[in-house]
Amino acid sequence: MKVKDNILVVDDDQDFLDIIRQILEKKGFKVSTVPSGEEALALLKEHFFNVSILDISLPDIDGTDLLSQIIELHPEIIAIMLTGHSSVKNAVQSLNRGAFSYLEKPLDLENLLSIINRGLEKQQLVFENRELISELERLNRITNTLLSVAQAVAQSLDLQKIIDSALEKVAECTGLEAIFIYLRDKDKLKFRGHHGLSPRAATNMPQELDTTSGIFSNLLEQSGPIIIKDLLKANEPELTFLKNVSYRSFAGVPLTILGENIGVLGIATDFTQSFSPNNLELLTGIGREIAIAVRNAQLYEDASSARALRELDVMRTEFLANVSHELRTPLAVIKGSANSLLQQDVIFDEQTRREFLVSIDKDADTLTRLVDDLLMISRLEAKALEVRKKQHKISEVISNIKDRLDKLTVKHHLQINIPDDIPLVKIDEVRIGEVLTNLVENAVKFSDDNTHIYIQAVCKIKKEVIVSVIDEGIGVPLELQQKIFQRFFQGEGRKAGRRKGTGLGLAICQGIIEAHGGKIWVESKPGYGAKFNFSLPVN
Partner 1 sequence: MNDKTTILVVDDNQDLLETFAMILKRRGYEVQTACDGLAAVDKFKEQNFDITLMDIVMPEMNGVDAFKKIKEIQPEASIILMTAYSDEELIRTAMDEGVTLIIQKPIRIDMLIKLINETAGNQPILVVDDNSIYETLKSPGMVRK
Closer Cβ to partner 1, 168 or 355, answer by number:
355
Q: Strand pairing partners for 189?
A: 184, 209
Choose, by CB under 8 A, the member of 212, 343, 450, 539 that binds partner 1.
Answer: 343
Cβ distance to partner 1 smaller for residue 104 or 355: 355
Evaluated on CA atoms 197, 199, 204, 209, the torsion sign reads positive
- Gap between the terminal Cα atoms of the chain: 90
Rounded least distance, CB 348 to partner 1, Å: 5
Q: Are 270 and 286 in contact (CB under 8 A)?
A: no
Q: Which of 274, 340, 395, 409 binds partner 1 (CB under 8 A)?
A: 340
Q: Is 168 in the site for partner 1 (CB under 8 A)?
A: no
Q: Report DSSP letters for 130-174, one per residue.
A: HHHHHHHHHHHHHHHHHHHHHHHHHT---HHHHHHHHHHHHHHHH
Give min distance, CB of 342 to partner 1, in A: 8
Task: Please select the residue that binds partner 1; options are 96, 235, 344, 450, rule is CB under 8 A.
Answer: 344
The residue count of the chain comes to: 539
Residue 258 has a CB neighbour count (10 Å cut-off) of: 8
How near is the Cβ of 507 to partner 1 at its closest, in Å? 35
Q: Which of 239, 289, 282 is nearest to 263 (CA)?
A: 289
Residue from 134, 151, 305, 352 binding partner 1 (CB under 8 A): 352
Q: Which of 355, 357, 367, 490 binds partner 1 (CB under 8 A)?
A: 355
Instruction: By CB under 8 A, name the one of 46, 110, 187, 349 that touches partner 1.
Output: 349
Which C-beta is closer to partner 1: that of 344 or that of 539?
344
Per-residue DSSP letter, 258: T
- Provide, rounded to whole angstroms, the least separation between the CB of residue 334 and partner 1: 12
Nearer to partner 1, 49 or 356 (CB): 356
Angle, alpha carbons 212-213-219 (nearest 5°): 95
CA distance 321 to 328: 10
Sheet architecture: strand order including 413-417: 413-417, 452-460, 464-471, 530-537, 520-524
The answer to whether residue 347 forms part of the interface with partner 1 (CB under 8 A) is yes
Dist. CA 146–CA 161, nearest whole Å: 17
Nearest approach, Cβ of residue 510 and partner 1 (Å): 39
Q: Which is nearer to partner 1, 212 or 343 (CB)?
A: 343
Closer to partner 1 by Cβ: residue 211 or 337: 337
450 lies in the binding site for partner 1 (CB under 8 A): no
d(CA 506, CA 484): 7
Does residue 96 interact with partner 1 by CB under 8 A? no
Asked whether 185 and 158 are in contact (CB, 8 A), the reply is no
How is 79-104 classified by DSSP, letter by letter? EEEEESS--HHHHHHHHHTT-SEEEE
Shorter beta-carbon distance to partner 1: residue 336 or 517: 336
Q: In this complex, which beta carbon is closest to partner 1, that of residue 151 or of residue 339?
A: 339
Cβ burial of 421 (10 Å; 0-12, 13-18, 19+) is: exposed
Of 349 and 420, the one with the shorter C-beta distance to partner 1 is 349
Closest distance of CB 358 from partner 1, Å: 11
Pairing of strands 51-55, 6-10: parallel
Under DSSP, the state recorded for 239 is G
Tally of CB atoms within 10 A around 436? 23
Alpha carbons within 13 A on the beta-carbon side of 193:
15
* Residue with smaller CB distance to partner 1, 219 or 333: 333
**Residue 421 interacting with partner 1 (CB under 8 A):** no
- Of residues 107 through 146, those in contact with partner 1 by CB under 8 A are none
Among 46, 345, 449, 479, binds partner 1 (CB under 8 A): 345
- Nearest distance from residue 367's CB to partner 1, in Å? 19
Shortest distance (Å) from residue 497 CB to partner 1: 15
Which residues are bridge partners to 261 per DSSP?
256
1 vs 346, beta carbon nearer partner 1: 346
Cα–Cα dist 516/385, whole Å: 11
Shortest distance, position 341 Cβ to partner 1, whole Å = 9
DSSP code for 4: P
Kindly state the smallest distance separating residue 332's Cβ from partner 1, in Å. Answer: 10
223 or 351: whose CB is closer to partner 1?
Answer: 351
Task: Identify which of residues 214 and 336 has a Cβ nearer to partner 1 in the complex.
Answer: 336
Are the C-beta atoms of 252 and 215 separated by less than 8 Å? yes
Q: Least CB distance from residue 363 to partner 1, whole Å?
A: 13
Q: Count CB neighbours of 469 within 10 A.
A: 24
> For the packed helices 159-174 and 277-341, what is the interaxial angle rounded to 10 degrees?
170
Binding flag, residue 348, partner 1 (CB under 8 A): yes
Residue 339 contacts partner 1 per CB under 8 A: yes
Stretch that binds partner 1, among 97-105, 108-116, 187-195, 347-355 (CB under 8 A): 347-355
Using CB under 8 A, which residues numbered 319 to 338 contact partner 1? 336-337
| CA 150 distance to own-chain centroid | 15
Among 223, 351, 450, 539, binds partner 1 (CB under 8 A): 351
Choose the stretch contacting partner 1; rule: CB under 8 A; options: 134-142, 162-170, 246-254, 345-353: 345-353
Number of chain residues interacting with partner 1 (CB under 8 A): 15
Closest CA to 182 of 289, 265, 252, 258: 265
* Footprint of partner 1 (CB under 8 A): 336-337, 339-340, 343-349, 351-352, 355-356
